[in-house]
Structure 1
Amino acid sequence: MEIKAPEKLAKGTLRIVPLGGLGEIGRNMTVFEINDQILIVDCGVLFPEETQPGVDLILPDFSYLEDKLDRIAGIVLTHGHEDHIGGVPYLLRLRQDIPILGSRLTLALVEAKLKEHRINPFTHTVKEGEIEQVGPYSLEFIAVNHSIPDSLAVLIRTEAGSVLGTGDFKMDQLPLDGRLTDLRAFARIGEAGLDLFMVDSTNADVPGFTPLESDIGPVIESVIAKTPGKVVVASFSSHVHRVQQVIDAAVANNRKVAFVGRSMVRNMGIAQELGFLKVPDKSIIEMRQIPDYPDNKVVLMSTGSQGEPMAVLSRLANREHQISIGEGDTVLMASSLIPGNENAVYKVIDGLTRIGANVVHKGNAKVHVSGHAAAGELLYCYNILKPKNVIPIHGEFRHLDANAALAIRTGVPKERVLVVEDGVVIDLKDGIAEVVGRVPCGMLYVDGKTVGKITEDDLKDRMILAAEGFISIFAVVDKDGKVVEGPEIRARAYAEDDHVFDDILPAISNALAEAQAGGMRDTYGLQQVIRRTVGNWVAKAHRRKPMIIPIVVSSKRGA
């Protein structure tokens, strides 16, 4: 059923518009609006897949906000992962003075990012237990445990009702930093009555409970202890807990640690400066110092765990990095596999294995645990909070559906559990959340310095060029449409010699002659004749669908 555009927002009603993160892992962003004031929770990026060649990042679709920028009261950031903060610089290009609220580490990470974009933001640091008033929104911040320190859930109170957004979270009972998800705060919120629960869905289809982060440390130490050569550990550049475990394991084995990769160096520097990363004296060396140490005395902490082509790990696998990896060395991939990155990651694993490295990953060793709550943890939350309405967030559709099923099993009425996608508009009023419409919500592509100018059609063209090749046909016609020069054919990335097109040249000339005899004179029409003729021939003779660019130029000859 097609959902129409929503009606004008009534006074005293809270409108919720997810612009990213529903039906996908990434670019999380939700817009709240009441009484002409807007609050944004998170603004992240999605990383491109193989079907999006040339794209650097994918942003939430900001078009819904373009005529509302002056009404944005603030941005709340739940934690410092790229899929929650990476889009902030691009949003602030539209209006730089939007206040940003977040924890100390989260703001430090986003401020470093904004500095690279030459944006000086207005930020306000918050912490768990605090309540802040932002326009008509009363915001209470709650500690949650995740794979990055200083993560927060946020309780949004308005005259229309209350909304608890978890951000990304889990319920590790022995967290490395001792910071538990505050279930007492959840219980208090449940006792007071919660109108809407917007909850992380990433592991909703995983039964039981997410394993403890502390279980990973001994595995990492064992891998390092058994490796006769260099050890390279690849992880997300913001996974402070994992980096801490690597540093501890390296020190225990009398090895030095070098951070490799710009984002890894930047983020770990920030984490260390703020006290979230504990680094023993003289345990860290710079990359240029690595040759000064024997291979069995160094551990490299790098980026590239998702197979990104320009990241350190891919360059090591392709032997394009100044550091060499080979026999006796171990590469430990200490991260989860984001859906869509499978082929790129396995390609890196194969490349590293081919050059002799021992590759340890989640598929063959317990070297990573998720940062997201599994089904058992989500059931606890539903039973504690007893929400009136639920919107599963942060996940692909199978995750959202699994989360919805958990909510229903705990007693939330089925009609009050809304599984929606990006752009669907929900209004909350008098304890009832309901879908009221849809707004345009697509992908916003970043390609170099270009933002938003790359379209789906452009990506299709790029895929055709990459997979099928390119054929150009040039011809000159006189004023009567008669061919006086050409046609000439050139092909690129077609895996065939140009002479294979000799057979089609007479057919092109005949097709142009027939079109001319029928009265066609304009060059555009003649170009379409060429395109059809060549396209049909290539499809039948070679079973290919290359990009075909016909060029017909009109000559003054015969005038």
Structure 2
Amino acid sequence: MAKSTGKSSGPIRGDAPGGFIFIPLGGTGEIGMNFNLYGCDGAWIAVDCGMGFSGPDAPEAEILLPDPGFIAEQREALRGLVITHAHEDHIGGVARLWPQLRCPIYATPFCAAVVRRKLAEAGLGREVKIHVIKPGGSFTLAPFSLRFIPMTHSTPEAQALAVTTSYGTVLHTGDWKSDPNPVVGHTMDEAALRELGDAGVLALVSDSTNAMNEGHSGSEAEVAKSLKALIGDLPGRIAVTCFASNIARVSSVIEAGRAAGRHVALVGRSLGNYVAAAQEAGYMQDVPDFVPEEEIGAIPDDNLLLVVTGSQGEPRSALARIAADTHRYAVLGEGDCAIFSSRMIPGNERAITAVQDALVRRGVDVITDDDQFTHVSGHPARDELKKLYRLVRPKYVVPTHGEWRHLSAQAELAEAEGIPALRLENGDVLQFGPGAPEIVDTVPTGRLAVDGDRIVPLKGGVLGARRRMLFNGVVVGSFIADGAGQPLGTVRVSAPGLLDEAEGKFRQQVEKEFLELLLDLPRKLRADETAFIDAARAGLRKIMGKHFGKRPLVEVHMLQMN
């Protein structure tokens, strides 16, 4: 854990500190939820605003968001939200968290098209000002001078962001790789990176996801060639699942289907949105007409290719519904094939294997990147990181975007290349200047959970109660009392997850003990409704603990008759 020196150039809350600072609020020490702040002499910009998946450590939630509370309290000083690229772990929180930020958004044409659709779905389309910046463009949010530098990644128009202030320049890489044949989108602008390095770069805030991997991440063009050969040899229906935002991969799958004489259907709403955004930005102009979902059944199996959402095992995704045989139109069965053209995001392993198992149970042949060459990463391996170091020549490297093992691997690599590394975690306040860079403070961070149409804290409150219910059950005791608090008639105890209908005699015993407890409470206490219910709740909890050895969530309902 990064430690604070106890020094600070100014208060963290209220007025922003002086100098030039960097604060990751999400995405450093974890995969997903990328949300970063740069501050300079009282002003702020935010870079990316993503989501993440909860994983087995938080089964009560599915989608997580970084807590923006720190910057939301100072949003009048927030000059804008700058988006590096259109992946969910960088834009998935925008529509949900923008009401707390209420600032302009700056993005490239493709990313802006994707974000507009998300904001429109959230009913915010007319409220949010989006400034479209061309790839490689420059703009100013005083006191910050900002410049996009085109990078290659597994979605179009990924941009590194050069952040220049009077204290120096920091290059925030976003997600990137070095790929001379990215299929769709720009190659890495090495000339611009070298030019930036010639001018002097104080620090490189760098993607660490593949910092443990030797060599090179591989080329998207090679995956396209492999998929074309694979799909051309397979009989039956074929479904390929990948990230909807990986427009290059989606394009490669479509081209492979066309070469194999197959009609292509996009299955999953997010795929349609991303393809529409790509076409709006000038990509994918020559793709064939897609088969509407409702017409999938009219196409012979050997002439059909499905591009499907759900590569991460999301429970409500198209692929999960196909695996459960609950999708309205798309069906896979004996003799068909499902190709996973993606990697497992850490934390999603159980969900993905559950979907794969369900497909295999239905007789579907499941092919992953362990079986065939179906995927390359969009993140730099060690040779690519070293290449970037040599182009940019930063004075310091700040590893971000990854779990601790990834951050540590990049820090060690940078130091082996003779560049000091600054290790930090979410909430650390890294001051780039004045003076030598150092961690000077920490700010509060946290996680929020998407719960239906609302956002709630992951810890405590609603989800805390749900977690307790998950592991210990819930008990509801109900009874009628007169105006003086005297119980009338019988009581009722409901305990879903603890008592079932076959345990009628046991339920009667619990209800008998609960009634006896109520009658034994002092009259004076029963005359106070709040105290009466609190005592009844505590007593029922003890009864259930005695019988089950658990401490369930207990609620008591009293209907008072006057």
TM-score normalised by length of structure 2: 0.89
- How many residue pairs are counted as aligned between the two chains? 551
- Asked whether the 8 Å contact 1:54–1:447 carries over to 2, the reply is no
Conservation of the 8 A alpha-carbon contact between 1:475 and 1:487? yes
Over the aligned positions, Cα root-mean-square deviation in angstroms equals: 2.9
Which residue matches 2:179? 172
Please point out which of 219, 222, 225 is paired with 2:232: 225
Partner in structure 1 of residue 162 of structure 2:
155
Matched with 1:437 is: 441
Alpha-carbon shift at residue 35 of structure 1 (Å)? 2.6
Equivalent of 1:109, from 110, 114, 117?
114
Per-residue deviation at 1:76? 1.5
**Which stretch of the first structure deviates more once superposed, 204-213 or 241-250?**
204-213
Could you tell me which amino acid in structure 2 is paired with residue 446 of structure 1? V
> Structure 1, unaligned stretches of length 5 or more?
none
* Residue of structure 1 in register with 2:496 after alignment: 492
Segment drifting more, 472-481 vs 111-120: 472-481
Question: In structure 2, what residue type is equivalent to 1:267?
Answer: Y
> What corresponds to 1:419 in structure 2?
424
Deviation at 1:419, TM superposition (A): 2.1
Unpaired segments ≥5 residues, structure 2: none
The 8 Å contact of residues 389 and 432 in structure 1, kept in 2 or not, is answered as: no
CA contact (8 A) 2:157 2:185 kept: no
Q: Contact between 1:187 and 1:384, CA under 8 Å: does it hold in 2?
A: yes
Q: Could you give the per-residue CA deviations for residues 312-331 of structure 1, whole angstroms, max 9, x where no partner exists?
A: 00110111112221011111
Q: What secondary structure sits across from 1:42 in the alignment?
A: strand
1:288 to 290, 294, 297: 294
- The secondary structure found in structure 1 opposite 2:311 is coil
Kindly indicate whether residue 42 of structure 2 is the aligned counterpart of residue 42 of structure 1: no
Answer yes or no: is the 8 Å Cα contact 1:42–1:85 preserved in 2.
yes
Aligned to 2:432: 428
Which of 73, 89, 98 is the aligned partner of 1:67? 73
The 1-side partners of 2:525 and 2:291 are apart by 77
**Offset at 1:464?**
3.2
Tell me if structure 2 keeps the 8 A contact 1:487–1:509: yes
1:54-203 aligned within 5 A: 55=61, 57-94=63-100, 98-116=103-121, 117-120=123-126, 121-177=128-184, 179-203=186-210
Distance 1:178 1:489 in 2: 62
| Match of residue 301 from structure 1 | 307
1:265 aligns with 2:269: no
Aligned to 1:450: 454
Paired amino acid for 2:73: D
Q: Distance in 1 between matches of 2:311 and 2:481?
A: 56
For the Cα contact (< 8 Å) 1:79–1:167, is it kept in 2? yes
- Partner in structure 2 of residue 212 of structure 1: 219
Identity %: 32
- The alpha-carbon deviation at position 136 of structure 1 amounts to 1.3
1:459 and 2:463 matched: yes
Q: Conserved in 1, the CA contact under 8 Å of 2:16 and 2:42? A: no
1:547 corresponding residue in structure 2: 553
State the secondary structure of the residue aligned to 1:549: strand
Provide the rounded CA distance (Å) in 2 between the counterparts of 1:333 and 1:152: 27
Counterpart of 1:69, as a letter, is R
With normalisation by structure 1, the TM-score equals 0.90
Q: Distance in 1 between matches of 2:479 and 2:499?
A: 23
Q: Retained in 1: the 8 A contact 2:34–2:50? A: yes
Partner of 2:25: 19
Aligned to 2:477: 473
Relative distance call for 1:129 and 1:178 in structure 2 (3 A) is closer
Please state how far the C-alpha of 1:203 moved relative to its aligned partner. 1.2
Contact between 1:26 and 1:84, CA under 8 Å: does it hold in 2? yes
Contact (CA 8 Å) 2:239, 2:339: kept in 1 or not?
yes
Per-residue CA deviations over 1:220-271 (Å, capped at 9, x if unaligned) read 2233223221111111111101111111111111111111111101211221
Describe the superposition over 1:139-188 as per-residue Cα deviations: whole angstroms up to 9, x where unpaired.
12211110011111011110122110000011123322473223333333
Distance 1:76 1:150 in 2: 13
TM-aligned CA deviation for residue 349 of structure 1: 0.7
Written as runs of structure 1 = structure 2, the 5 A alignment for 1:531-546 is: 531-546=537-552
SS at match of 1:247: helix
8 Å Cα contact 1:482/1:516 also seen in 2: no
Distance of 2:17 and 2:309 partners within structure 1: 48
Aligned equivalents of 1:451, 1:150: Cα separation in 2: 30
Counterparts of 1:521 and 1:217, CA distance in 2: 75
Secondary structure at the aligned position of 1:285 is classed as coil
How has the CA–CA distance of structure 1 residues 177 and 261 changed in structure 2, closer, same or farther, with 3 Å as cutoff?
Answer: closer
Structure 1 residue 484 displacement after superposition: 4.3
| 1:368 is the counterpart of 2:375 | yes
Distance 1:10 1:250 in 2: 54
Structure 1 residue 72: Cα displacement: 2.2
Amino acid at match of 1:59: L
Distance 1:495 1:503, change over 3 A: closer
Q: Is the CA contact 1:491–1:498 (under 8 Å) kept in the aligned structure 2?
A: no
Q: CA deviation at 1:210?
A: 0.9
Q: Distance in 2 between matches of 1:269 and 1:11?
A: 42
- SS, match of residue 279 in structure 2: helix
The correspondence for 1:314, drawn from 314, 320, 325, is 320
Report the alpha carbon displacement of residue 509 of structure 1 after superposing the two structures with TM.
4.6
Q: How does 1:321-336 map to 2 (within 5 A)?
A: 321=327, 322-336=329-343
The aligned amino acid for 1:251 is R
Partner residue, 1:392: 399
Query: What is the identity, as a one-letter code, of the residue corresponding to 1:546?
Result: P
Cα separation, 2, equivalents of 1:288 and 1:552: 51
| SS of corresponding position for 1:109 | helix
Please tell me whether the aligned partners of residues 107 and 132 of structure 2 are also in contact (alpha carbons under 8 angstroms): yes
Asked whether 1:382 is paired with 2:386, we answer no
SS at match of 2:49: coil
Q: Do 2:55 and 2:62's aligned partners in 1 also have CA atoms closer than 8 Å?
A: no
Local SS of the residue matching 1:462: helix
Aligned partners of 2:458 and 2:464 also within 8 Å: no
